[in-house]
Amino acid sequence: MKHHSSRFTISSEWMILCSILLGTFTVILNNSSLNPAVPEFMNVFHSSASSTSWIITIFLLGMGMTMPLTGYLGDRFGKKTIYLLGLLLFILGSVLGSLSWNLVSVICFRGLQGVAGGLMIPLSLAIIFDAFPKNERGRVTGIWGIAIMVAPAIGPTVGGLMIEWGSWQSLFWMNVPIGLLGLMIGLKYLPHSVADRKRTFDKSGFITVTLGVGIILLTLGQIKHLADMVVWSNLVLIGVGIVLLIIFVRLQLTKEQPLLYLRIFNIPTYALSVVVVSVQAIAMFATIFMVPLLVQNVYGYSAMVTGLVFLPSAIFTGIFVRIAGKHLDRKGPKMIVLVGLSVTCITTAMLGMLQLDSPLWVIFVLMMLRGVGLGLSNMPVTTAGLNAIPEQFVSQGSAMNNVIRRMTSSLGIVIISVYYEVRRTQLIEYGNSDAISTLHTINEGFWVLSIIILVTIPAAFFMRQTAEPTKSIHHTKRSA
């Protein structure tokens, strides 16, 4: 193994990766494992579904609002310091969450976990990029990608088992030993990045992006039905959020030290990687929404069987994300991303061809193959995009990638859930049975997703493995 710096040995590099894996896997697994626990919280605290759903919403909101800050914080105070602070806050939020006495306290401590996750996820990739040279990053981020992509898939199964065999408190306590282990390893092995004491804080950028992202995510999280989309307050809030983000973009393009260096979007490979990953996120979360409806409401299987349906996708994503990483290091992103997006597109379309008499094993096979496609495309796209930008902007690039992916996936879930409600009701009014109406609506949803993925396939031909010219991202403050 060839190393780019004498600071690290083979063992220390892999201990760095181990610390990052333990932290990120715990954060993402905890987020998705609480989804099936919402009914349990409703029973325990005698609360409504809308109130209890804040346990999920506040985590995503806290994470989305914190992520834009990680680039500045990592530069100003050092990536190791901020990452470990995030992990410590996550452990603290887990302990406090397990001791919650009412619904409000659970929501508050989940918010703390979300803020912690927002600090950790973007910086985890930046630390990996600091520790490994470009010709090894595909393989390493392939391993990291297992945590990012497998955890959301197995989270609902883990959460369901923990509730069935234990208690809701166990969903918080399970984070503590893993988090502490990651913290101890990180304290010893994570590299100290040089803190830039001259880095100034962009207050106007912070206010506009935090409020803009926060308002949009909050509003999208409250939209469950078609009627919610035309409520004037929701429309106003979405409009305010968009205006704030437009102001943020204009401010960032005029400042010497902006909160986020938006000009890295002038680098084609990075810009394309964000588009592709965002589309993949929409498709992934829409599938998580539709498959349980398909398995339970159309075919009549239990929630446990639904959880098992996601396991083949998780397993094969984990296997092929490593294969894709090794290929990326050797031959670049074009072919592996092309194959991955094509497989994802085809299997998504085939999920849209299921009939009432389709056997369950067909869904298992299609989900398995879809996992192959996601594994081959998702992490290579992200890694190639970050490889294409200058090293000093990796934290910024990772943060923006995550924020945009979170916002687009939230928007995708809103659109698909509202479409499901409207189209299914329409088909029932036409005289179709409930099962047939549900199946046709879900089939149409998968077809739309496959078309969206199809549109991104050409992006693979324009992705480069090496860093691209950087003169387009350097800027000076424009005159008034």
**pLDDT value at residue 478:** 39
Average pLDDT on 201-211 reads: 90
**pLDDT value at residue 282:** 86
**pLDDT value at residue 6:** 42
In the predicted model, what is the mean pLDDT of the chain? 85
**pLDDT value at residue 468:** 54
For CA atoms 108, 118, 141, 349, give the dihedral sign: positive
The string over 161-177, giving b where at least 16 C-beta atoms fall within 10 Å of a residue's C-beta and e elsewhere, is ebbeeeebebbbebbbe
**pLDDT value at residue 433:** 87
**pLDDT value at residue 479:** 36
Whether pLDDT at 480 is above 60: no
**pLDDT value at residue 465:** 61
Whether pLDDT at 1 is above 60: no
**pLDDT value at residue 306:** 77
Tell me the pLDDT tens digit for each residue of 282-310.
888 788 788 888 888 888 887 678 778 88
Tell me the pLDDT tens digit for each residue of 270-287.
999 999 989 988 888 788
Average pLDDT on 78-95 reads: 95
Average pLDDT on 349-363 reads: 93
Average pLDDT on 422-430 reads: 87
**pLDDT value at residue 96:** 96
pLDDT bucket at 179, cuts 50 / 70 / 90: very high
**pLDDT value at residue 476:** 40
**pLDDT value at residue 86:** 96
Tell me the pLDDT tens digit for each residue of 234-263.
899 999 999 999 999 999 888 888 888 888
pTM (two decimals): 0.81
Tell me the pLDDT tens digit for each residue of 64-77.
889 888 988 988 89
Tell me the pLDDT tens digit for each residue of 104-144.
999 999 999 999 999 998 899 889 888 888 888 888 887 88
Tell me the pLDDT tens digit for each residue of 5-40.
444 555 677 888 889 999 998 898 888 788 777 778
Average pLDDT on 362-377 reads: 92
Phi-psi domain of 194 (left: phi exceeds 0; alpha: psi -120 through 50; beta: other): beta
User: What share of the chain in percent tops pLDDT 90?
Assistant: 32
* 152-156, 402-406, 414-418, 424-428: range with lowest mean pLDDT: 152-156
**pLDDT value at residue 474:** 52
> Is the CB of residue 286 less than 8 Å from the CB of residue 476?
no
**pLDDT value at residue 469:** 53
**pLDDT value at residue 3:** 43
Q: CA 293 from chain center: how many Å? A: 22
